[in-house]
Amino acid sequence: MNDKHAVSHSVISENEGHLLEKDGDKGIFFIGQWHWAKAVWNDDGRGEHITKKIGDNHYFLMCITHIGSNFIELNEPSGARLSSLHKRVLFSDAFEQLIFEPCHEQIIQDFINAGQEKSKAILGQISLLAAKFGLQVSGDVSSFVSGKSLPSPIQESSSTGIAVLSDVMDVNAFKGEMIVFKEKTLPSMQGDLERTCQVITKWVLASTMIPSAMMQSIKNDMKKIDDRIEDVGLYAGIDEDTVLVRDGIPAGADEMIHVMQRRLYMDEECLLDYDAGGMSFTKISEFDRWLCRNGNAERLLPFSKTVVAFKVRRKTKSYDNSIHAFVRFSLEKQDEQTFLYVRNGEKIYRISTMLDFDEMIFPSDDGFINEPVMVYMFCGKVKNVITVREYEQVLTQIEESKKAGDIDRHHSSLFDDIRHGRYQAFDNQNVYFDEINQYFSDKIKKYNKVSVVLQGLLDRSEALSPHGRISLSKPSDFIKHIKLIYDAEYVLYSGEKPDFEAFRAALNDKITSESVFVGQHEAFVQRETDRENKRRLRSAYGDELRELDRYIPANNEGPGKLAIASKQMKTGKAVFTWYREPSVNYMGRDYYDKKIKDSITVPFSMLLNASAYQKGDYKRFFSDPRTRQEYLKWAPYLLMAENYACGMEEPSRPV
């Protein structure tokens, strides 16, 4: 730490008292204290802040609402639809930026009184101007201070109005003055009055800041209790949610328990043992049966004692072009659950839990947290974290771009964020040190919950029996009995990733006049979606209609997901034709029996030649988890071609 940042800090009392010492200065800071905080700008914000000028610097009156491990947080009262200043000051800067104010109550009350006097003055001005036109002002300022919206302060008096009119020499000029008063003067003064009352209301709320700050501290303590309750629930509920999927001879007591790092998805894993024509699961027990067939269990749970986390699907939202059209899981109530499948020799168990594991249920290593990092904070939350090494590499790229003169061309978001100074070091000179530290702590807690679940399996379930007494809180027991398998880092796979576009090109090189294609349906859906969105944009209700992601007209099913082209062009395109239903009953005559011919032209680059596809070709893209998620978008093409190769689907023919 640099000397300029050297500050001594200690907690001295139960009421959040903190003693700071630096360069001979000493001060006690606690929640509820009011200070003059140095401003970064000199604008009063139209009178809504309590300010003070000392020398060349402007200060705002603010209350300490939180004291962190390296900072003091101050706020103004919030409410009444006005902005509230928020400031964090490092301990090392506290004596330079904060001045204690012991008489804050009197200062705030004087500010409120001044606001009330201003409100009365505005009402008085309105009253005088209104009287000129034979009108009366009703209401008083106290109704506005309570936070109520401002009513119209003008009432008509017919007798006064007649008397005023009788004295007017130029009626037209008088009428013009009344219009100006109504449309400009009065609205402006009403706006000033309403804002003044909002400022008063804001500072009346100053007395509530200390209880609010204390409530936040209590909420933080409650979060710790909630975490503990969750741990107990995870541990205690293991035996209640354990189901025997396959019986048999268990593994030996000395066999290590292998925990797979990567969370799996049931629908995606089914792709590797896909039944041509489609698969449907309405009960979780049906997936259990699939798991136990054709060596699937041995592939997914490869060790004699293995624990793997599953979710039903990666995303709950599905379309007709997704893998859900081929592998259907109707388990909506269980979409949010995580299922742990445990292999113990020949036995397989399923454990249901509401614990939401990450994509990796344990980290690759803890080095990232120990390695220096840079953090991008947004709205007080961690948006992204990178290592200092990565940060410095991008800084080098920025300097090279400056020298090359292309600094303003399109770069990655990381490049732009670093260029604009959005990343700050994670150290004790970062005012968001506590939030960043909590971010990493939460990750560690989440990973540690895996140990809670495993301990519950060992203590309260037969899933991993037989075994001796194992306490995973002891490092020696963990090392002896648990083996972490880092399959998310792909150490189990090697070689080049499969290239879908190269695969497509190879199939399309074999196109003939009788080739059956896949892909034209998606081109049709995109065309109709674009048309519908344009129609909605032109509609009188365009502002109320959302943009669609997918749209298929009710009267038009399209060319078919598997189809033969009516024409192939030398330019590398195929034309597909089909009949659609008429959209309207034209001129009151019955045209519903008359089909209308439709067509679409699609480049070969968007199609896949299913005629050249060989049974099982799809597996090359999904057997390697490095590429599975990347190629899921092509699953409908590949599985439709698989169905055709297996004789389960017939193509649509041209009309």
> Residue 522: what residue type?
E
- Predicted confidence at residue 628, as pLDDT, reads 65
- Predicted confidence at residue 3, as pLDDT, reads 54
β-bridge mates for residue 164, sequence order: none
Which residue would you say has higher pLDDT here, 10 or 453? Answer: 453
Cα separations (Å) of 365 from 271, 447, 485?
31, 11, 12
The pLDDT tens digits of the residues spanning 76-104 come to 998 767 778 889 999 989 999 999 999 99
- The pLDDT confidence band at residue 137, using thresholds 50, 70 and 90, is low
The pLDDT tens digits of the residues spanning 403-458 come to 888 777 767 888 888 988 999 999 888 999 988 888 887 777 777 777 888 888 88
- The pLDDT confidence band at residue 568, using thresholds 50, 70 and 90, is very high
Q: Among 11-20, 308-317, 343-352, 611-620, name the one with the lowest average pLDDT.
A: 11-20
- Residue 247's Cβ-count burial label (10 Å; 0-12, 13-18, 19+) is exposed
Q: Per the omega criterion (within 30 degrees of 0), is the bond before 654 cis?
A: no
- pLDDT averaged over the chain? 81
- Predicted confidence at residue 1, as pLDDT, reads 41
Asked whether residue 316 carries a pLDDT value surpassing 60, the answer given is: no
Average pLDDT score over residue span 116-135: 84
Task: Write out the two tokens for 78.
Answer: 């919030």
Torsion sign (Cα): 210, 211, 214, 215:
negative
Average pLDDT score over residue span 601-615: 95
> Rounded CA gap, 342 and 297, in Å?
10
Query: CA 326, 331, 336, 340: dihedral to nearest 10 degrees?
Result: -90
Of 603, 604, 609, residue with least CA distance to 645: 609
Domain boundaries, the chain: 3-102, 111-207, 237-363+447-492, 500-645
23: left (phi over 0), alpha (psi -120 to 50) or beta: left
**Which uninterrupted H or E stretch holds 400?**
helix 388-404
